[in-house]
Structure 1
Amino acid sequence: MKQTRSHVVTIVCPIQATETDITMRCRWNRWRMLASFLAPIFFVFLFTLLSFQPPEVEINVRKRTKTKEPQLLTNYTNNPYNISHPYNVNFEELLVMKDSGQDIPLKPLNPHPHKYILNPSNICMDPPPQNESLFVLILIKSAPDNFHLRQTLRMSMEKNPIEQGYVRIVFLMGTSKKELNKNILVENALYGDIVQQNFVDSYQNLTLKTVMGYNWAVDYCSNATHILYKDDDFHFNVKNLLKFLGSQEHPQSLLVGYRVDKAPVMRHPASPHFVKKEEYPNKVYPPYLAGGAYVVSMDVAKRFAVAFPYVKFITVDDSYLGIVAMKLNILPQMNDSLFSFKDCKDLDSKVIACRGYTSHKEIFSAWKMYVKRILAKFYI
């Protein structure tokens, strides 16, 4: 071993060097030889490490599993009203999900857990005569103690026997705080035209009543082509309604009535339209139709029914519908000549609906007329 080592030294190291210099230079040469051998391997390894990426499929999977919420773009990027109200997502994408049978991955902000007490589910089963293209459902918001108004509206249909085949009437209400619920059961047993759920019928619950009406229409009367949505103190003219619908170029996409633009939000607690800032922070509402009477096509009503659970609740029902319409990119159409909020002087000529009772005197007069007609039927 000693001879071999001295032989190597004589080859690599100078003869004149001391023994210490020979030892240091030999060690240095060994390290240089090792470094020159390992350097290429190190650089190849470093280059491979820096250039390595997971396969593209793995990247996509990680991105999809990172967030569980849907990538729904906002509708309000170019919103001319600068109004935001949860959820701020693309509701047209929600409609696509619903139509394709997908679950909408959003928690409902406006659930409607109320159950039916009265449900005339068969009222729309008979089609219009001769399979006509128009079939109208009249949804009437009514208070439990307004029996006389409901009777007046029922009698108005008796005057138009031909048009009755094209129209179905349903009254919408909640439960009464008074002892009227038994009377409602008797009334429905006679006429079978009341839709009632187990929420208290009050001004603050008008949005619940509206949501109930649309849901019922979509679930039990979807074969209707249009809905006339109105209060029970409005008269209506079926002939004018059918004439108007028959003249429309695109009758399947209607939302028409008396439109209100840039309505301010009422912040005074004494106002019946009071809405807290926490519930709706904006200063104005988007365009909406005054809730006394308006016409909506069933296609639009179905879109409303899909959107309701995902639009935050406010108590003002017509303003709430305006918010939902805006989220669905639907602009309500203005036609003040067909809907009158002052009087009914043009009801026989062109008006579809008009406020029929503006005073207690008019209500009492209508009630006397109803009693008189009932007595005449029995020849008393």
Structure 2
Amino acid sequence: MAANNICHSLAKGPYMPHIKKTFILLLTIAFLLSAVVYVSDFSFETTTFTQTWLTKVMNWTHYKVINSTLVGHTEKDLLFSLLPNQQIQRRATPVAQTTDIPIYHHVAHPSNYHFILDEPDKCSQWDPFLVFMVPVAPHQVEARKAIRSTWGNESSVQGKAVLTLFLVGLTGGPEAQQKLEEESRQHRDLVQSNFVDSYFNLTIKTMVIMDWLATRCPRAAYAMKIDSDMYIGLENLMSLLLAPNTPRQNYITGYMMWNRPVIRNKNSKWYVSEELYPEPKYPTYLLGMGYVFSNDLSGKIVEASKKVKPFNIEDAYVGACLKQLGIAPSSPPDPSQFRAYLGQYKREGFLRVITTILGSPQQLIDIWKDLKKPT
């Protein structure tokens, strides 16, 4: 009872205002100290936080895009699904900024990447005269099936051994990777490297192809980079390569591209900044849908790429590497054999060409079956 009386007296007495003021003052000091600590910690960790957040967002973007990006040609109407500020690797270094979005200088030289799936002994087993290297997205299973059942199934043309391999980048997830590895075990024709598989990274993909040819298949006489939606007239191609006037060194031919202007429109999927490529026009190059070359060039192009800053137009980049080497692409003896589109299918037209673009894997299968029918 005495204790209760004392508390009641304190509450009613002159000490109460002082207790309230002290309590409020302590709360204010505690709040200010917390704010100072929070701001200090945030300022100290801002750079790391921003870097980590940006890396996670970019990586998420990369892997989400893999399953929706088509690998194709610089002159075809494809969805350019990555912005030009893509970071290709964590070690990529930013270059000067020309828009509100930073542009990153990606590293295309193949020494920056390694093979996840490989067929290092394939060429020593087959000793091919000609190697087809097909850049294809991991999810494009139907395209690979169509090629395996048509021109990619041929192992000999006019008595010369030929070999077809597919090159892919990262799949974007463990389930897709497992399926790709199962496909690799079944067919033994897949090569995979650890770059992000996207339209923007076709330059990296092409340079990895060149590196594989130079290091795994140096004895092959010729190689061809050929896209996955292409028809190839194998007999016509082999006749070209076996012709007595076809060079065995420093030779590359296909659909010629002369005096092509560099696209500076930032809304274009073919946009290249002046920082990446300062000249107003590209050197002469071969359209990326399919070009054939003497295999000595693969290693030379890889070496030249050490001195040529990479940009995202892969076929023009190969042209820039050739210019660095002092090697000019050769116009084919019959330029009409390298065609972009033939239009509506006519048997006689396809019998004359070396390459042309098709609309679907099923179209390749249908055309191949018709062409193989006896006349």
**Could you state the TM-score of these two structures normalised by the residue count of structure 2?**
0.62
Which amino acid in 2 is paired with 1:193? D
1:177 is aligned to: 172
CA distance, structure 1, for counterparts of residue 124 and residue 142 of structure 2: 27
CA distance, structure 2, for counterparts of residue 365 and residue 110 of structure 1: 33
Residues 299-351 of structure 1 show CA distances to partners (whole Å, capped at 9, x for unaligned) of 22221122122211111100101111111111111232221110274565332
SS at match of 2:122: coil
CA distance, structure 1, for counterparts of residue 367 and residue 261 of structure 2: 40
CA distance, structure 2, for counterparts of residue 355 and residue 292 of structure 1: 8
1:269 is aligned to: 266
2:71 is aligned to: none
Q: How does 1:322-333 map to 2 (within 5 A)?
A: 322-333=319-330
- The structure number with the bigger radius of gyration is 1
2:337 is aligned to: 338
2:185 is aligned to: 189
Specify whether residues 161 and 364 from structure 1 end up closer, same or farther in structure 2 by C-alpha distance, changes over 3 A only.
Answer: closer
Identity of aligned residues (%): 28
Which amino acid in 2 is paired with 1:273? W
SS at match of 1:259: strand
Q: CA RMSD in A?
A: 2.6
1:310 is aligned to: 307
Which amino acid in 1 is paired with 2:144? R
Shift of 1:364: 5.2
CA distance, structure 2, for counterparts of residue 232 and residue 110 of structure 1: 21
**Could you state the TM-score of these two structures normalised by the residue count of structure 1?**
0.62
Specify whether residues 157 and 217 from structure 1 end up closer, same or farther in structure 2 by C-alpha distance, changes over 3 A only.
Answer: same
Return 173-182 or 149-158, whichever deviates more: 173-182
Specify whether residues 363 and 278 from structure 1 end up closer, same or farther in structure 2 by C-alpha distance, changes over 3 A only.
Answer: same
Specify whether residues 126 and 110 from structure 1 end up closer, same or farther in structure 2 by C-alpha distance, changes over 3 A only.
Answer: closer
Shift of 1:269: 2.3
2:194 is aligned to: 198
Which amino acid in 1 is paired with 2:232? F
2:288 is aligned to: 291
Which ranges in structure 1 are unaligned for 5 or more consecutive residues?
A: 1-108, 129-133, 371-380
Q: How does 1:18-167 map to 2 (within 5 A)?
A: 111-112=109-110, 113-128=112-127, 135-157=129-151, 160=154, 162-163=156-157, 166-167=161-162
CA distance, structure 2, for counterparts of residue 153 and residue 251 of structure 1: 27
Return 109-118 or 327-336, whichever deviates more: 109-118
SS at match of 2:293: strand
Which amino acid in 1 is paired with 2:190? I
Shift of 1:280: 1.1
Specify whether residues 276 and 158 from structure 1 end up closer, same or farther in structure 2 by C-alpha distance, changes over 3 A only.
Answer: closer
Specify whether residues 184 and 282 from structure 1 end up closer, same or farther in structure 2 by C-alpha distance, changes over 3 A only.
Answer: same
SS at match of 2:149: helix
SS at match of 2:220: coil
Specify whether residues 183 and 215 from structure 1 end up closer, same or farther in structure 2 by C-alpha distance, changes over 3 A only.
Answer: same
SS at match of 2:309: coil
Shift of 1:180: 2.3
Contact 1:307 1:324 (C-alpha < 8 Å) held by counterparts: yes
Residues 27-84 of structure 1 show CA distances to partners (whole Å, capped at 9, x for unaligned) of xxxxxxxxxxxxxxxxxxxxxxxxxxxxxxxxxxxxxxxxxxxxxxxxxxxxxxxxxx
CA distance, structure 2, for counterparts of residue 318 and residue 238 of structure 1: 22
Contact 2:256 2:331 (C-alpha < 8 Å) held by counterparts: yes
CA distance, structure 1, for counterparts of residue 317 and residue 350 of structure 2: 32
CA distance, structure 1, for counterparts of residue 152 and residue 249 of structure 2: 28
Return 164-173 or 295-304, whichever deviates more: 164-173
CA distance, structure 2, for counterparts of residue 367 and residue 185 of structure 1: 25
2:226 is aligned to: 230
Specify whether residues 308 and 203 from structure 1 end up closer, same or farther in structure 2 by C-alpha distance, changes over 3 A only.
Answer: same
Specify whether residues 341 and 303 from structure 1 end up closer, same or farther in structure 2 by C-alpha distance, changes over 3 A only.
Answer: same
Specify whether residues 252 and 312 from structure 1 end up closer, same or farther in structure 2 by C-alpha distance, changes over 3 A only.
Answer: same
Shift of 1:181: 2.1
Contact 1:118 1:195 (C-alpha < 8 Å) held by counterparts: yes
2:32 is aligned to: none
Contact 1:289 1:322 (C-alpha < 8 Å) held by counterparts: yes
Shift of 1:165: 5.9
Residues 95-143 of structure 1 show CA distances to partners (whole Å, capped at 9, x for unaligned) of xxxxxxxxxxxxxx85431111111111111355xxxxx7001011111
1:212 to 171, 184, 208: 208
Residues 169-216 of structure 1 show CA distances to partners (whole Å, capped at 9, x for unaligned) of 111111123652222111111111111111110011100000000000
Contact 1:139 1:171 (C-alpha < 8 Å) held by counterparts: yes
CA distance, structure 2, for counterparts of residue 110 and residue 213 of structure 1: 11
Shift of 1:237: 2.3
Which amino acid in 1 is paired with 2:134? I
Specify whether residues 230 and 111 from structure 1 end up closer, same or farther in structure 2 by C-alpha distance, changes over 3 A only.
Answer: closer
